[in-house]
Structure 1
């Protein structure tokens, strides 16, 4: 049986996310991002389309590399202003039953003890539909705003992340037993004291002594997403990630990326298929090819290539505005996103080429065509690269999601490559087709689970 496609909507609690400039389109509603209705309407729409999840990106800091200022960032709203993604979940969970929520949070600036409580709270309120996209940050502007001189060195951020996950596993998996809560009114026992334990962690980055503040949630640990593609990032993913998000430009390179993710899992002693791999993609679809091309041309007129390049500048740490249109862009190793700088290093880029690449305001693979053409292309990407699914970016909101749901989803279903109904259970259960809501036994986080204290030997028992 052919593999069915997994699908997340890719969004952010802001105006300009990936495809920049399209907030100026007359049918776009992204300036309403500050309202609950914007998000609850989107959640209902995505659940109608049987999306597995809404993947919400986030950034701490501002994009101030391009032109050494925030001028383009503010004019085009390049992920600024940006609001907290986690606060959206309660409202969206209340109007849906199945839609999952992949939430980005930067562990560099989140104390693990309190963050564990926030995750448990959202997992409770959503009935087990929460995932966490683990990021360590890459902007010096964020570091300065948080009181640091600069962002910690790339690989050291992952060292810290490894320890951060240890603390979370201890809190989420090991502080409360599954049967700690009995809620016995007659005996006046809500939780059994011998089934709740203090976490004691003393490491290089964190010192934590305390009980997890929340009782066990449906998943305990949320589904773990991660997006690093550097050597150190892949090692981290191999150990911890259940889903990995990559950015591919062609099928050959994407296949290589997928293979590296699977190899990282195997190197960590896990099943290579234990990680679901998603790629970011943009789709512009209409009933006929002519209409699709016309819609693409219409979107291009509103998009901002310069805003896209300004966003990319922050990812690389290189001020592209300092270069002439056809001047070769110099490469220097920095502390930003290594996969982004690697692309510059391996190709002869100029600012003109970058502007062409960012014609739609972003640089994700863009599929333009009829429902049949788009469905064929998505299936080809899946089958030829080993991907498990896609993070579908928005263009004009909510039009691009509506078009995909109404036109492409039925084509995928007809081919047997997309579900026709949701399975029951938590987000983890749905993604991995399992009845078990918790981390699998093969995941290193499962080693931190609460285990009963053995009874002392030789104890006297009285009848």
Structure 2
């Protein structure tokens, strides 16, 4: 059977995500309605109608305050602020769907593993096993300040913390409760067999957790594990832990390089290459005809906010574009403690060096290398070509005008992909992991399973 595309909607429970300035578009609803459960339930129904596999919720824990030295630009155009906690909309979205899954971003830098394990066990129970965890280490300086730190923990140490965070999580989710611990037998008067519930007694460099886990095993036990980041440390972490990786790059070939590198590293850990599925960004502007699509795209450009785009870039990289005075200077890679793969994107990973002036021009409009524009057939052609050349398993579909762009994609592009055999016509039954891998639990070669209960 032909390899089929896995589709996820890329979103945030915020007034705006990465459609910088598009809140001003007359057809945009999200900045008015993102606080409403009705909005998120309507979106869930739409995505399930389009046979989307999941909605991928990004999240941050601070404001973007690098550009210009403060958060003014970010606040003016709602750069991922105001923002609510994505975990709270998931039960409502799950209640009106049967198959749509939910990937939730949670940072290992500022959470505690015990609390996080209970959150994901709860969500996995309430959704009948339709939950994933996007593991991030957080890159905003303001987030560190919000959690009592003067400065961010250094980039590489954040991954050391994440490794131990995952070790504790596996102990709680996989080891603490045996599968048949819950008896619920009125005749014996025993709800839970105490001999089958275990304290984890973890004492490490960053965490001390006694246990036991307070939630019984959920349908997947451990949620499907996502990781986003293509820095050296990020790829190493993904190779060890991730089932799904979110990979960006300036070309399909560069994305393919990162994917193959992560999979090769995974093999070195005793894992199989097919244990990892890879996703990248997808942005689509589609209409009935090519002319209408380009007219729609030109209209989108009118609302674009360059300052908002620069604010988001500044927070994610540590590069304050407002501080570059010489426009003819080459824009080169400089180490920061923020997102290193994002910093590499327009510097050392770019096909050629850019000047500061060219970088400013790039942020004055949507990033054209990441956008497919055209009629439904043209968009399907572009998507198929990228799918084959990059080697990804699927896409995180972003959207300028929400929810209209998603509606257009579902109505115009999905049927063509289905006709070509590139996209499913019906969902498989089961949990999210069963849909992705035909099994409910992590594979035996995964580090979560390669441990012995203490």
- TM interval, short-chain normalised: over 0.9
CA contact (8 A) 1:309 1:354 kept: no
CA contact (8 A) 2:12 2:58 kept: yes
Equivalence for 2:11 = 11
Q: Which whole-Å deviations, capped at 9, do the CAs of 1:79-129 have from their partners, x for residues lacking one?
A: 111111111111111111100000001111111111110110000000000
Q: Does 1:343 align with 2:345?
A: yes
SS at match of 2:449: helix
Structure 1 position 343, deviation (Å): 3.0
Structure 1 position 450, deviation (Å): 6.3
Greater Rg over alpha carbons, structure: 1
| Deviation larger for 323-332 or 90-99 | 323-332
SS at match of 1:108: coil
Q: Whole-Å Cα distance in 2 between the matches of residues 2 and 366 of structure 1? A: 25
Match of 1:334 among 319, 333, 336: 336
Within-5 A mapping of 1:225-244: 225-244=226-245
SS at match of 1:410: helix
| Deviation larger for 8-17 or 334-343 | 334-343
CA contact (8 A) 1:67 1:321 kept: yes
Equivalence for 1:90 = 91
Structure 1 position 331, deviation (Å): 4.2
Q: Whole-Å Cα distance in 1 between the matches of residues 226 and 421 of structure 2? A: 26
Give the TM-score normalised by the residue count of structure 1.
0.94
CA contact (8 A) 2:332 2:353 kept: no
How many residues are matched?
A: 449
Structure 1 position 449, deviation (Å): 7.1
Structure 1 position 323, deviation (Å): 2.2
Q: Whole-Å Cα distance in 1 between the matches of residues 168 and 376 of structure 2? A: 46
CA contact (8 A) 2:20 2:79 kept: yes
Q: Which whole-Å deviations, capped at 9, do the CAs of 1:252-290 have from their partners, x for residues lacking one?
A: 212212211211211221111210000011000111110
Q: Which whole-Å deviations, capped at 9, do the CAs of 1:192-250 have from their partners, x for residues lacking one?
A: 11111111111111111121000000000000000121111111100100000011321
Equivalence for 1:460 = none
SS at match of 2:450: helix
SS at match of 2:448: helix
Equivalence for 1:441 = 444
Within-5 A mapping of 1:151-230: 151-230=152-231
Q: Whole-Å Cα distance in 2 between the matches of residues 121 and 226 of structure 1? A: 21
Q: Whole-Å Cα distance in 2 between the matches of residues 421 and 410 of structure 1? A: 12
Equivalence for 1:145 = 146
Equivalence for 2:122 = 121
Q: Whole-Å Cα distance in 1 between the matches of residues 11 and 452 of structure 2? A: 33
| Deviation larger for 121-130 or 193-202 | 193-202
CA contact (8 A) 2:22 2:303 kept: yes
Q: Whole-Å Cα distance in 1 between the matches of residues 221 and 39 of structure 2? A: 29
Structure 1 position 341, deviation (Å): 2.0
Equivalence for 1:455 = none
Unaligned runs of 5+ in 1: 452-463
Match of 1:385 among 390, 397, 401: 390
Q: Whole-Å Cα distance in 2 between the matches of residues 371 and 211 of structure 1? A: 53
| Deviation larger for 180-189 or 362-371 | 362-371
Q: Whole-Å Cα distance in 2 between the matches of residues 410 and 448 of structure 1? A: 45
Q: Is the alpha carbon distance of 1:399 and 1:148 closer, same or farther for their aligned partners in structure 2, counting shifts above 3 Å?
A: same
CA contact (8 A) 2:9 2:54 kept: yes
Structure 1 position 137, deviation (Å): 0.7
Equivalence for 2:416 = 411
Equivalence for 1:293 = 294
Structure 1 position 310, deviation (Å): 1.6
Q: Does 1:58 align with 2:59?
A: yes
Equivalence for 1:376 = 381
Q: Whole-Å Cα distance in 2 between the matches of residues 193 and 144 of structure 1? A: 42
Q: Whole-Å Cα distance in 2 between the matches of residues 267 and 365 of structure 1? A: 32
CA contact (8 A) 1:306 1:361 kept: no
CA contact (8 A) 2:249 2:345 kept: no
Q: Whole-Å Cα distance in 2 between the matches of residues 335 and 171 of structure 1? A: 30
Q: Which whole-Å deviations, capped at 9, do the CAs of 1:327-348 have from their partners, x for residues lacking one?
A: 4245431111111222343253
**Backbone CA RMSD of aligned residues:** 1.6
Structure 1 position 305, deviation (Å): 2.2
Equivalence for 1:2 = 2
Q: Does 1:34 align with 2:12?
A: no
Q: Which whole-Å deviations, capped at 9, do the CAs of 1:164-191 have from their partners, x for residues lacking one?
A: 1010000000011111112111211111
CA contact (8 A) 1:52 1:431 kept: no
Q: Whole-Å Cα distance in 2 between the matches of residues 302 and 269 of structure 1? A: 49
Q: Is the alpha carbon distance of 1:345 and 1:377 closer, same or farther for their aligned partners in structure 2, counting shifts above 3 Å?
A: closer
